[in-house]
A and B are shown apart, each in its own frame.
Chain A
Amino acid sequence: MLDVVDASASPSARSRVAVTAGRHALSTGVRYLIVLFVAVSLNFAMPRLAPGNVVDYLMPPESAGSLTEADRQQVLQQFGLDQPAPQQYVHYLNRLVHGDLMVSARYGRPVRDVLFERVGWTVLLVGSSLLIATLIGVFLGFRSGWRRGGRNDVGALSAVLLADSTPPFFVGSMLLLVFSVRLGWVPTFGARPWSGAQGMALIGGILERLVLPLITLVIASIGPVFLVARSAMISELQEDYILGAEARGLTPAQVRRHAQRNAVLPVSTIVLMSIGTLVGGAAVVESVFSYPGLGRLIYESVVARDYPVIQGAALLLVLGVVLANFLNDMLYPLLDPRVRGRRGRR
């Protein structure tokens, strides 16, 4: 173990790593562009396969039924949805290249603005919950794995399994009931104070509204991280090098450090991969706390068949996931010297 770490510190090894990392980045970049294009096309096609369309959503079905074809076209034309699908597709790609995400049929406003209002809240809520869930999950998971079957492990495992199997809307509603309604510690809904708050008061107001949805989302997302960290730890502990380290008389703390270093790899993968599902999964939490995030927007846009918003939001998600994967790919050689070495030899 120690040898490998030392080797990476020598100058020649470092430059070799830089070159391979650069080549690696380029090839993965191209791959991701292809993935992106496929995703954009699917984002365009999938919502249109679902039955129904936005005109029926925008007005009561009774009056919608009395509209003539011309009336419908008059409405669709305002959102660029009146042409046949292939033309719409070309139009969409063309606008996309120019950074234009079209106009939302439900909001009547540019999709870019609609997304922009929410993405910040989503990054705040989902990002911080991902961070906290990862820290807690990794900490508990490593500890559980280190003392597998121990009291800590049993306690943490049952607590995490319970948390993971409790539906988020239930956890959210219960938290709301206890901490907002009964105790009155935090506000019941929204993301920010409506009026009058500035500076620190505004930040305080935002934070106090963040607490409950954050806890709910952490509880909902801690399970996989914990389980992966735990099992990674367990399997590392069964490796020969651990036996070797113990035989060399390293202290338990040193042995544990070695094991943790290697157990981090699968955890980083699962964490970065879960971004997409987490944003979508946050929809329930956002509904319970009336939090203006992307998850709820996507859900409601699907219900309304608001194609431009679905396309835009899905694109954003895909970008997030691709970026996370890219990061993961970049991070991997840094985290795992073995990957680095293998690529270097090729």
Chain B
Amino acid sequence: MIRRHFRHGTVRVVLVTAVLGALVSTVGPQLGGAGTVPAPLTAAKLRIAVPGAENNVTPFTITFGSTPNTHDFLNLVYDTLFWSQVKPEPDSWLAESAEPNADYTSWTVKLKPGLTWQDGKPLTADDILFTFDYYLTYKGSAGRYSHHVADVPPYTSGEVLDPLTVRLDFSAPAPQFRSLPGADLAIIPKHQWEGITDPKTMTDLPIGSGPYQVVEIQPDQLYRLKANPNHVMGKPTVDELELVVVKDPAAAFAALQTGDIDMVANNVPPELRDEFAGGGDVAMLKGSKFESTQMFFNARKEPLSDPILRKAISMSTDLQAIVDTVLLGQGVPGSDTFIHPDSPWAAPTPGHEYDPAAAVKSLDDAGYVAGADGVRSSPAGTKLEFSILVNSFAPGDIRAAQLVAEQTLALGVKFTVESLDPATLRERRASTVDAVPEYDAYVSTLEAHAHVDPDALYYFFHSPGAKGFGVSVSGFTNASFDGVVEGATIIPLDERADELNTAEEILADEIPGMSLWYRTGEYAYRPAAYGGWVSDPGHGIFTKRSFLPDTVAAAHPPEVVAVAVTEAPAVTEASAVEPATAATEAAVAPAATVVAATPADSSGEDNGGSALPWVVGIGAVGIAGGGLLMRSRRKTAPTDDDD
């Protein structure tokens, strides 16, 4: 009987594990063979992993579940008047032109002729006016998109002049109209939304004018998007997109390796980077979504209300060390001036002042005295013991907060890290204008919008009150700062840089929040499936320009279209139309580079996968050891009910 020969439990387990281990070690190296096939610039179908679902992808029902890709996801389906807000003067998109009156309080928008919605109905000036009115009426439901009609610039009403022309009026000058809301607000069809009074429960498939039409939704699993052949920028290069929801990043990148999907919309996590840099069937393209992670202080609570203390904490923090530890070097240390260094609104000399000795001196001078335990107290007598609130789902943020706590200990400031689930964290941050919230500091991540919006400083750091987000960010209060940023919102963009630089200098001196890092974007895809990816600064590569024929062609001139290239051209857009702009953008953009795709060899196995035989081995040793231990125990003390 086979059972006889094979009945020894321990032996069996060891055998099975050994076989498994052998299987893994022999099969491993055979995989990942590189093929240097030309990467096609068109495709019939592409499967992309997004990290979260966005309901039925309308501006009112999205959940920011696929953050930081939400804005670009939405804008595959919808279009804006101009695109994109990353540039001070965005390109003409649905709008042929938009001209202001003398004081910028009224804009006359002229649409391109012959525009249609994805259902074939004509897109006219009526829809534009309806869109602005609707966002204003349902500003609570519009969430992130409402403040560019409700706050800055403050939209009041408009008038349709002819089917292609509409005039939009504002109660304050709106010099930034072309970028905000012009390049931000998704234009929605009047014929779908008219009469809908609870936009958050609208469940129909969206009708947009963007390059892709949503034709099927399997909730929380799949979005099927079909190319819109009548798109204003031409027929998209990929006929069909399947956006699949894969929430676990490890699973998403595993699926990319197997070819189950062709691209992952999210950044390659630092710990997986080496695996893909080794080449094979997966290539990487650099880009940046202008994400930033920062630690905001509660600037309304004593003693953190003292800018000297906040600045001293900032000066004691070695941001490069944090980037090296948390991001394994895949990022740029934060700038004291807040705005992303690649944004058109960045200070001329962004950077971080790291000087622990000067920090100690400044606190000494300001009367912060250290106690017996080395922790200082404020002149008012409050001990400098604070907590940093972090999102428990963001391990990187937790680690960063721990590092800040370690680094500032020498200064005599004691931070403890408190990790909370996101809803609790938001609750702890929440406050009314008159109250001082209890928290001390928190870590948060912001999207491109916070860095490319010329009014971002106004929104984020205006003193608490009716204007800006003040109360919900840090409660930073500075009258002269308010004056500068308020003034900046109503002057033309080309005159704005000086004002914003003044504001950024105030931030650098008073540090309402420490910018910790700007994430470097690297996106992984399978070039054999599609090679037309465009690295669009502020958007990464999962963005509509990666599927629009002109931008794809401009980014991939015929002679360099091959997987083996190491240098992809920097992003250019519609270069035939605007060569000068392309040059400026190239200067702003980090050069788009396909990370060296060298063929994999057997020595290229020093990646995460090689841990597997070890794990199996350790497991086998554990089982065998345990089995032997129990067996020997049984021999010394045999049980009487044995056979």
B642, A147: Cβ atoms under 8 Å?
yes
Contact string, A294-311, partner B, CB cutoff 8 A, digits 1/0?
001100000111000000
Q: Which residues of B contact A231 (CB under 8 A)?
A: none
A75, B140: Cβ atoms under 8 Å?
yes
A180, B201: Cβ atoms under 8 Å?
no
CB-CB contacts below 8 Å: B394-452 with A:
421-431, 444, 446-447, 450
A288 to B144, CA, bound (A): 30
A173, B250: Cβ atoms under 8 Å?
yes
Is B580 close to A, CB under 8 A? no
Contact A187 B24, CB 8 Å, known A52-B424, A64-B426, A108-B55: no
Is B370 close to A, CB under 8 A? no
B587 to chain A, nearest CB (A): 30
A283 to B641, CA, bound (A): 42
A287, B247: Cβ atoms under 8 Å?
yes
* Best-surrounded residue of A62, A72, A184 (most CB of chain B within 10 A): A62
Contact A174 B424, CB 8 Å, known A151-B8, A182-B27, A191-B221: no
Contact string, B626-643, partner A, CB cutoff 8 A, digits 1/0?
110011001000110111
Q: Select one of B220, B423, B459, B612 contacting A51, CB under 8 A.
A: B423
* Best-surrounded residue of B200, B222, B642 (most CB of chain A within 10 A): B200
A182, B201: Cβ atoms under 8 Å?
no
Interface size of B by CB at 8 A reads 91
Q: Which residues of B contact A290 (CB under 8 A)?
A: 221, 244-248, 251
B460, A62: Cβ atoms under 8 Å?
yes
Q: Select one of A62, A75, A237 contacting B141, CB under 8 A.
A: A75
Q: Which residues of B contact A59 (CB under 8 A)?
A: 64, 143-144
Among B376-384, B464-472, B476-484, the one that faces the other chain is: B464-472
B202, A108: Cβ atoms under 8 Å?
yes
B200, A61: Cβ atoms under 8 Å?
no
B246, A62: Cβ atoms under 8 Å?
no
A149, B641: Cβ atoms under 8 Å?
yes
A59 to B54, CA, bound (A): 12
Q: Which residues of B contact A187 (CB under 8 A)?
A: 255, 258, 260
B97 to chain A, nearest CB (A): 30
A116 to chain B, nearest CB (A): 10
B631, A108: Cβ atoms under 8 Å?
no
* Residue of A whose beta carbon sits closest to that of B627: A158
CB-CB contacts below 8 Å: B1-20 with A:
7-10, 12-13, 20
A303, B422: Cβ atoms under 8 Å?
yes
* Residue of B whose beta carbon sits closest to that of A184: B258
Is A320 close to B, CB under 8 A? no
Is B22 close to A, CB under 8 A? no
Q: Which residues of A contact B471 (CB under 8 A)?
A: 65-66
Counted as pairs of residues, one from A and one from B, with CB atoms less than 8 Å apart, the total is 235
B24, A178: Cβ atoms under 8 Å?
yes
Is B154 close to A, CB under 8 A? no
B203, A108: Cβ atoms under 8 Å?
yes
Contact A190 B221, CB 8 Å, known A62-B472, A67-B140: yes
CB-CB contacts below 8 Å: A55-101 with B:
56-67, 70-75, 77-79
Is A27 close to B, CB under 8 A? no
Is B37 close to A, CB under 8 A? no
A66, B468: Cβ atoms under 8 Å?
yes
Contact A188 B64, CB 8 Å, known A61-B429, A194-B244: no
A53, B469: Cβ atoms under 8 Å?
no
A291 to chain B, nearest CB (A): 9
A302 to chain B, nearest CB (A): 8
A212 to B12, CA, bound (A): 22
A78, B143: Cβ atoms under 8 Å?
no
A303 to B427, CA, bound (A): 13
A183, B27: Cβ atoms under 8 Å?
yes
A177 to chain B, nearest CB (A): 6
Is B44 close to A, CB under 8 A? no
B254, A58: Cβ atoms under 8 Å?
no
Q: Which residues of A contact B10 (CB under 8 A)?
A: 151, 154-155, 158
A70 to B139, CA, bound (A): 10
A178 to B258, CA, bound (A): 11
Is B28 close to A, CB under 8 A? yes
A146 to chain B, nearest CB (A): 9
B610 to chain A, nearest CB (A): 11
Pick 16 A–B contacts, CB within 8 A, sort by A.
Answer: A52-B422, A57-B63, A67-B140, A71-B140, A108-B56, A109-B203, A152-B9, A154-B630, A158-B627, A176-B251, A176-B254, A183-B27, A187-B258, A189-B244, A290-B247, A303-B422
* 4 closest cross-chain pairs (CB), A and B: A155-B9, A65-B472, A52-B423, A71-B140
